[in-house]
Structure 1
Amino acid sequence: MDHNKECDLNISNYISEINTTEIRSVSDFLNVLKDEVVDINPKYKKRVFRGLSKKSYINIDYPSIYRNPENDSTFEPFVKYEHEMFYDLVSRFPEQFSSCNNTFEHLVMMQHYGFPTRLLDVTTNPLVALYFACVNGQGYVDNDEDGAVTIYDLFEINIHNYESNTITILSNLAKINQSYTPFYAYYNLLVKIIDSLQNGANPYRGFLLSNIFIACIKPLITQFDLLYKTEKEDILRKFLTYERDKIKIDQLKTELCLLIENEKRDYKLIYNKLLELKDFFQYIKELHFNRSGSLDQELTLYDHILEDKKYSISKLVYPEDIIGVFYVRPKLNNPRIINQNGAFLLFGFAGQDKTKLDPPRCHYRLKATKKYTNHPIDIIIPKQYKQVIHDELKQLGIHQAFLFPEIDKVAQVITKEYKIKKCQ
């Protein structure tokens, strides 16, 4: 099954299968990690932790850009205006952002100041996550609701350094409006595969490497299906203006599949059909997207990518660059990230049939599992034990002044320490 379809399938049922384990102390927490959470091989996976002050946040644990203001559904989600918000903040504080070398660093700084972004804070230190599960946004112990620590195990393929091509591309989604869709990424991939087949296949030499040729075409058919039709909606057909174009795309797909499946393959016919397919995609792109203006967003995205000159790239945007969730190893260039053992999950499109407004939820399937059950596990911190755990963490050096070493935060901590009642 396609990974993106799998991610979208029965996600609510998947969340409902999550096992929860309650703890009452730091030692309980460490014992759960040791005895109940399945072990991983660090060569192939990266384990990260996230503390939630309210366990009700588990079901909406995605970046703030996808949320509604004040979590009120009567407001539009921030992501609808992401590109405008991005430029609005930078234009008002140009000096603060002048040290940023690329768009990802802009997003990190915005996240630092609590601005809605497509980043999700995580840590490699479980005790840091436990601290955040006990306190609210102001650093006070939150006794209103149980907290939770959620754990994600990420595959090596989803782990990137801050300057990687994928992170550069994905970060720049913040600068374009919601008319951009994954259509372009699949279009680019299709054309790339067709071009490589054209360059490597000479119809006048009888396709001597016919088995290799067919092996190359099979992923083309797979990508064609992803682009053309999904279980939920017909992605490509909705962009076709004229009925004759809808008939043509049906015809092309049917003919190409029949040619591939035929035991007596006519490689010259397959070759010519690929050229016809490529021409048709170019026609669609020019006819519809130029007229609708959404092609401008594809060009705008690529221009933004090239603006990150230090990490500029020459390739086009492909599906693996914009769909899914990625772990980013950040620059350790500020004390807060260092002390929190901080990192980020960077979110792209939820799937090939999604818009920019749909929050990705694939990361729920990356949750760590409970031993012997294969079900995801979350660790719950009952509200009545938060203060006890908070105090134990302080004895271990995990406290607000350490995790937020900026002068304004430390000043708040010192002020609280001198909040002393008068002697009676």
Structure 2
Amino acid sequence: MESIEEINSLSDYILAVKELHSYLKDGDHELYFRGQKQRYLKEIRLTRENEEEKIESILPSLFRKETLLNHENKLYEDFLMRAPNLFAQCNNNFERLALMQHHQLPTRLLDLTANPLIALYFACDASDNDGVIYPFSNNLNFKIFKENLEFKGKQNVLSDFRCIEKDGFAFPERRISINKTAFSDEIELESTIVRLSFEDKISILTELSRFFACRSEQLEKNPKSESWNSLYYRSRSEGSLDNIYEYRLSFKENTALSHLYHMVANDVGIFKQELNPIEMYLPKIIKAREIDRRIKNQKGLFLFVPFVGDINYTRQDGAWANYYGDKIWAAQNSINSLRLFNNNGKLISFTIPKDKKTDILTELEEIGIDRTFIYPDDYSILSKQIEEKY
């Protein structure tokens, strides 16, 4: 269910944005925005229902074609090889990925902004259709988030995500944050998975799915087991994660994971060679270093869509790759779990009527938000050339 409000002027929008703050649960939660020139509907086929379903798509460009999703590592490597000087100021794989995204290469990053006026500009960018703005926050919508686990038959693991705070969105023991920086070990790991060969990527995601299957079985037998986050950090403090059965079974001697750690070490040097499966499952909002003027001017942030829909695993059937429609559904569900919702649980969005766009753009230009401010540089032609190869 959605709560849709129509915006007819800049002043309408400013008042609407002010009201959004009343839906934030506490001082730790923040607002982010995404503006699109129109709403997009995508028809997908879900294997669990064996039927077609239309979803409202806010997907990153990587997910818009199956061939792009299957060649994620090649997209990255091609751009890196053909424009190496562009990345001279980048310190890690995430910063390279973010720069590629800003120059329109298809990635699993979704552009957000901390400046609501930037989102309004993008929503008004073309006048053929009504525009749309989606507010986001770092307040996880647990009701939507759990649907991905239920879809994969791992609903028992929900207890590992339950909180000890009243609002239902903090994590037990040591809090796992939705917000990350570009220098986080967790983000470096996940950004480097993007670069892995298809075989290594599938191997790691298979073990990730196996972990959740084993964890789900254990929690079904003993629902009062110690929470994963508590168990994970306690074992770390004691010097070894090998004492945890589910972790040892899935990650102890995985060759692809060794390749991943090696690639990260080559990129950033010393880091903690550990992978927290619970962290891997969460969507994340990442603030990038301002490595070019475009990111700085647009107050850019990124929603990193996790690798949640690629592989499923059960002890009875082993591992199998999900179909494209299932992957799309899981990715969109992860994105929706960070959309802002009102007190009735409805997801919030704003519609910009197409006949109001020109007037609003004029108002924005009067306060300095125009195309030359939004796009101070441009490598989009190279990105388009690489995209067309796949």
Give the TM interval when normalised to the shorter protein.
0.5 to 0.7
Q: Secondary structure at the match of 1:175?
A: coil
After TM superposition, give the deviation of residue 110 of structure 1 in Å: 0.9
Q: 2:101 aligns with which of 108, 111, 116?
A: 111
Work out whether residues 185 and 318 of structure 1, in 8 Å CA contact, stay in contact via their aligned partners in 2: no
Matched, 1:125 2:83: no
Alpha-carbon separation, structure 2, partners of 1:150 and 1:279: 37
Alpha-carbon separation, structure 1, partners of 2:361 and 2:247: 64
Matched, 1:363 2:335: yes
Deviations 1:319-340 (A, max 9, x none): 1342221111111232211211
Structure 2 equivalent of residue 415 of structure 1: none
Q: 2:27 aligns with which of 35, 40, 43?
A: 43
TM-score (norm 2): 0.67
Alpha-carbon separation, structure 2, partners of 1:182 and 1:229: 20
Q: Secondary structure at the match of 1:331?
A: coil
Alpha-carbon separation, structure 2, partners of 1:276 and 1:152: 35
Deviations 1:109-168 (A, max 9, x none): 211211011211111111110000011xxxxxx121111000111148100111011111
Letter of the 1:362 partner, please give it: S
Alpha-carbon separation, structure 2, partners of 1:367 and 1:278: 32
Alpha-carbon separation, structure 1, partners of 2:244 and 2:368: 66
Structure 2 CA distance for partners of 1:35 and 1:314, relative to 1, 3 Å: closer
Structure 2 CA distance for partners of 1:229 and 1:183, relative to 1, 3 Å: farther
Structure 2 equivalent of residue 82 of structure 1: 72
Q: Secondary structure at the match of 1:184?
A: helix
Structure 2 CA distance for partners of 1:407 and 1:318, relative to 1, 3 Å: closer
RMSD of aligned Cα (Å): 3.5
Deviations 1:34-90 (A, max 9, x none): 34663425632121000011122682212211221xxxxxxx341211112211222
Deviations 1:263-292 (A, max 9, x none): xxxxxxxxxxx989689938x987xxxxxx
Alpha-carbon separation, structure 2, partners of 1:83 and 1:144: 35
**Larger strand share, 1 or 2:** 2
Structure 2 CA distance for partners of 1:21 and 1:309, relative to 1, 3 Å: same
Structure 2 CA distance for partners of 1:352 and 1:115, relative to 1, 3 Å: closer
Alpha-carbon separation, structure 1, partners of 2:291 and 2:82: 23
Matched, 1:396 2:367: yes
Identity among equivalent positions (%) equals 26
Structure 2 equivalent of residue 173 of structure 1: 193
After TM superposition, give the deviation of residue 223 of structure 1 in Å: 7.4
Work out whether residues 305 and 335 of structure 2, in 8 Å CA contact, stay in contact via their aligned partners in 1: no
**Larger helix share, 1 or 2:** 1
Q: 2:308 aligns with which of 339, 350, 356?
A: 350
Work out whether residues 38 and 369 of structure 1, in 8 Å CA contact, stay in contact via their aligned partners in 2: no
Q: Secondary structure at the match of 1:96?
A: helix
Matched, 1:337 2:295: yes
Work out whether residues 323 and 352 of structure 1, in 8 Å CA contact, stay in contact via their aligned partners in 2: no
Equivalent pairs counted in the alignment come to 297
Q: Which stretch shows the higher mean deviation, 82-91 or 387-396?
A: 82-91
Alpha-carbon separation, structure 1, partners of 2:373 and 2:303: 23
